[in-house]
A and B are shown apart, each in its own frame.
Chain A
Amino acid sequence: MEKLKGIAASGGIAAGKVMLYRASGKTAEKRTIEDVSAETARLDAARAKALSDLNSIYLKSLKLVGEEDSMIFQIHKMMMEDEDYYGSIKSKITKGKVCAEYAVQATGDEFAEKFANMDSEYMRGRKTDVIDISKRLIRCLTGETGEGGLSGIKEPCIVAAEELTPSETIGVDKSKILSIITKNGSKSSHSAILSRTMGIPSVVGLSDAFASVADGMEVIVDGSEGAVITEPSEETLELYRKKEQGYTEYRRDLEKLAGEEAVTKDGRRMRVNANIGSPSDVGDALRNGADGIGLFRSEFLYMKHEALPTEDEQFAAYREVLEKMDGRPVIIRTLDIGADKKVPYLNLPKEENPALGYRAIRICLDRRELFRTQLRALMRASAYGTLLIMFPMIISVSEIREAKKELENVKAALKKENIPFDPGVKAGIMIETPAAAVQSGEFAHEADFFSIGTNDLTQYTLAADRMNDKISAIYDQRHPAVLKLIEYTVGNAKKAGITAGICGESAADTGLTEFYLKIGVDELSVAASSILEVKKKALSTDLRQ
């Protein structure tokens, strides 16, 4: 028995026999030919067949994994039709008088070599695509039927391969494959994506440990942990069987909660929202039953661009999120960057102490044009859903007043220009500095809502840098000082009649859910993948006890 560590690519547990998969590595034989035109005609016919096969695979893949991950087969078609590639094959046939199979293989190797020598990992990965299309063309020439790949598997097994090409993975029959493990690859490689979509456990990137896996060997794959256990003992097997059963039941039960509200046994309701970083995260949030968006970090708009994003670019992104959320509340946080979250074109000088430096609202109130553009984009988008605006890094009343004044100016300007917006948009603040928590009584009269950012609040309260591994034990989100500040802040929000939410890592800490419910927190905002766990915890809590 041996435990091999790899990368956890798709969760779940599987046990069974290994089928060591070697892509049909048959090398084409070099035959000399006489009739050049007959040979090129064979090649043309094979390519036509290959292109039509690729088209049906594309359509099949479209249904299975969606457009984004199916695009690869369109790329394969274009590669197959590429003049340089096809021309090279033809010239080998006409000039070298070799059979088409050999010409395809030689050309494939040459092109693969070019990619293999490139300096980017992404481009090196394209080698797999060239090999994939060349193999396909050879199969069409030899009249081999089927997709080759994994489609020929008869008995349910665990597929072990060095690497799988996109075509090999799409041929998979879900009922025959218990799990996929590979030597190479990463979380974003094709077999990993496909495994996740099909819901089969997978471990990739086993690298040297892969050598310990042999054909026909009994193994356990723990896709959540990223481990492969070879020749497990009966006890271990039993242990994992239980774990597997538990995992399946757990997931099934959790997924049932997506449509439910988080209400405690004694009837206290709490909203569970999602934190998102870009419009593309909304799908996940909705699938997991988010009641709203509790934190939309607007930074992505600024970090992916070469220059400041225009008002229209921002408007489009905000509007997309609001429309997709279909009336559910969406809290968008205004720009929260600084020396630690770099935006090169702003030319912010390097700081000794970026966490305590020129950042977030401090930048916005200093560079008003930048702030105004964002507020305009936000207000224009407000016409398309339920928007709430949130200002980060607040330490004083004057900052809230200044930010709100700017917002009022923007509203007045939009009104003049006859641009529609929602006049009732709420403007709230992040409570993430001890200063804000301590003054939350006063702030509650200035802001429409509070959202407690526990990551920074912990870091500032405990004077513990959360990026510093050496003091990670000191950086404790459950430290009494942090919890007291949270309780005090929520209490002040209640008194003033405004809502209080928690965003930040510790909102997802189910060990704190009961505490939050007890002190009267109205909403928690967590990563989409944590929503169901938090709901489950709230549903099983009884505050009377």
Chain B
Amino acid sequence: MVSFEYKITNGTGLHARPAGMLVKTAQSCTSKITVSGNGKSADATKLFAVLGLNTKSGDVISFSISGKDEEGDRRKIEAFCKENL
């Protein structure tokens, strides 16, 4: 398993648009990806669960990624975060 943390800098946090894009990205990965923030955890492939984290700008979210290609998937998710969050 690999993991990393990311601090959200976009204005509204993990809101509908970026959350939707994150879910799409996670669905395209082969690993199991869990995202945590605000004291809660969510399966990153589930939109309502991700929205339920209710994150805001400035919050730190963490990802844990496990699977055959976890290193590749980590890079994918990290690149997504930098680009969109």
Q: Which residues of A pack against B, CB within 8 Å?
A: 71-72, 74-75, 78-79, 82-85, 111, 114-115, 118-120, 122-123, 126, 129, 304-306
B20 contacts which chain A residues (CB < 8 A)? 71, 74-75, 78
Cβ contact within 8 Å between B16 and A75: yes
Q: Which of chain A's residues have a CB closer than 8 A to the CB of B47?
A: 75, 78-79, 82
Q: A74-B20, A122-B15, A306-B7 in contact; A84/B54 too (CB < 8 A)?
A: no
Cβ proximity bits B1-36 to A, threshold 8 Å, 1 near / 0 not: 000000101011101110010011000000000000
Question: B52 contacts which chain A residues (CB < 8 A)?
Answer: 114
Task: For the complex, give the distance between the alpha carbons of A276 and B58 in Å.
Answer: 26
Cα of A85 to Cα of B23 in the assembled complex, Å: 15
Q: A72-B16, A83-B46 are in contact. Are A126 and B23 (CB under 8 A)?
A: no
The chain A residue sitting closest to B54, CB to CB, is A118
Q: How far is the CA of A359 from the CA of B13 in the complex (A)?
A: 30
Set of chain A residues within 8 Å of B24, measured between Cβ atoms: 78
B residues lining the A interface (CB < 8 Å): 7, 9, 11-13, 15-17, 20, 23-24, 46-49, 51-52, 54, 56
A120 and B17 in contact (CB under 8 A), knowing A82-B47, A84-B49? Answer: no
Residues A79 and B48 in contact, CB atoms below 8 Å apart: yes
Would A126 and B16 count as touching, CB distance under 8 A? yes
Q: Write out the residue numbers on chain B whose beta carbons fall within 8 Å of the beta carbon of A75.
A: 16-17, 20, 47
21 contacts between A and B (CB under 8 A): A71-B20, A72-B16, A78-B20, A78-B24, A79-B48, A82-B46, A82-B47, A82-B48, A84-B46, A84-B49, A85-B48, A119-B54, A122-B12, A123-B15, A123-B51, A126-B16, A129-B16, A304-B9, A304-B11, A306-B7, A306-B9
CA distance A82 to B49 in the complex (A): 9
A114 to B54, CA, bound (A): 10
Measured in the bound complex, the distance between the Cα atoms of B11 and A318 in whole Å is 22
Report the nearest B residue to A71, measured CB to CB. Answer: B17
Query: For B16, what are the chain A residues with a Cβ–Cβ distance below 8 Å?
Result: 71-72, 75, 126, 129
Contact flag A84-B9 (CB < 8 Å), given A75-B17, A78-B20, A123-B54: no
CA distance A84 to B48 in the complex (A): 7
On chain A, the residues within 8 Å of B17 by CB distance are: 71, 75
- In contact, B54 and A120 (Cβ under 8 angstroms): yes
Q: Give, as a whole number of angstroms, the nearest-CB distance from B35 to chain A.
A: 14
User: CA–CA, A7 to B13, complex, Å?
Assistant: 26
Query: Which A residues are in CB contact (< 8 Å) with B46?
Result: 82-84
| Distance from A227 Cβ to chain B, minimum over Cβ atoms (Å) | 30
Query: A129 to B7, alpha carbons, bound, how many Å?
Result: 27
Q: How far is the CB of A279 from chain B (nearest CB, A)?
A: 16
Q: Once bound together, how far apart are the Cα atoms of A538 and B49, in whole Å?
A: 57
Which partner residue on chain A sits nearest B16 by CB separation? Answer: A75
Task: Given contact pairs A74-B20, A78-B47, A120-B56, enumerate 20 new A-B contacts (beta carbons under 8 Å).
Answer: A75-B16, A75-B17, A75-B20, A78-B20, A78-B23, A79-B48, A82-B48, A83-B46, A84-B46, A84-B49, A114-B52, A118-B54, A120-B13, A120-B54, A122-B13, A122-B15, A123-B51, A123-B54, A126-B16, A304-B9
A102 to B56 alpha-carbon distance, docked (Å): 34
Expressed in whole angstroms, the minimum distance between the Cβ of A74 and any Cβ of chain B is 6
CA distance A85 to B9 in the complex (A): 29
Give CA–CA (A183, B59) in the complex, Å: 33
Contact between B51 and A126, CB atoms less than 8 A apart: yes
Question: Given the complex of chains A and B, what is the CA–CA distance between A114 and B12 in angstroms?
Answer: 18
A121's nearest neighbour on chain B, judged by CB, is B12
A226 to chain B, nearest CB (A): 25
Q: Which residues of A contact B11 (CB under 8 A)?
A: 304
CA of A58 to CA of B37, assembled, Å: 31
Chain A residue at minimal CB-CB distance from B24: A78
A163 smallest CB distance to B (angstroms):
17
The residue on A at minimum CB distance from B14 is A123
Q: A155 vs B20: C-alpha distance in the bound complex, in angstroms? A: 38
Across the interface, which residues of B come within 8 angstroms of A305, CB to CB?
A: 9
The CA of A72 and the CA of B17, in the complex, are separated in Å by: 7
Who on chain B is nearest to A72 by CB? B16
For the complex, give the distance between the alpha carbons of A85 and B51 in Å.
13
- State the Cβ distance, B16 to closest chain A Cβ, in Å: 5
| Smallest CB separation, A106 vs chain B (Å) | 15
Residues of B near A122 (CB, < 8 A) are 12-13, 15
Closest-by-CB residue of B relative to A123 is: B54
Complex A-B, nearest 9 residue pairs according to Cβ-Cβ distance, in ascending order? A75-B20, A78-B47, A306-B9, A75-B16, A82-B47, A118-B54, A82-B48, A84-B48, A122-B12
CB distance from B23 to the nearest CB of A (A): 6
How far, in Å, is B15 (CB) from chain A's closest CB? 6
